[in-house]
Amino acid sequence: MIKHIVMWKLKEEAEGADRLANAREMKRRLEECAQIVPGILSFEVALAQPGLEATYDVVLYSAFEDKAALEAYAAHPTHQALMPFFKAVREGRQCMDYEV
């Protein structure tokens, strides 16, 4: 199994919207990817919550059966379509994949 965790720090304003609106839009778009390929075992998107420690605005926590499933997800057109918007609104991105 491969765990895939990605965190995004967003710009204060981008694409005509503020940080919170863009975070909500990222979450909506990511959730559309939850079942796009076989081999996705879990897929959770969360936003930073007031009152809880967070240095990033959006996190994706997902698990895939194997590396091939993760690669299929990454190459899928629905996932690829996210990239222009995500690149436009993000200030920073961190990613970690690991096998368990």
Q: Domain with 56 in it: what CATH number?
A: 3.30.70.100
pLDDT of residue 24: 98
Is residue 24 included in any domain, yes or no? yes
Domain tally for the chain?
1
Mean local confidence (pLDDT), 19-44: 98
Q: Is residue 100 part of a domain?
A: no
Average pLDDT over residues 8-29: 98
> Is there a domain that residue 41 lies in?
yes
Q: Where are the beta strands (DSSP E) in the chain?
A: 2-10, 13-14, 17-18, 40-47, 58-64, 90-99
Residue 70 lies in a domain: yes
The answer to the question of residue 68 being in a domain is yes
Q: Report, as an integer, the average pLDDT of 72-88.
A: 98
| pLDDT classification of 97: cutoffs 50, 70, 90 | very high
Which residues have CB under 8 Å from 50's CB, separation 6+? none
Q: Is the dihedral angle over the CA atoms 66, 67, 69, 74 positive or is it negative? A: positive
Has residue 99 been placed in a domain? Answer: no
Task: State mean pLDDT over 68-93.
Answer: 98
Q: Looking at the whole model, is its pTM more than 0.85?
A: yes
Host domain of residue 81: 2-94
What pLDDT was estimated at residue 16? 98
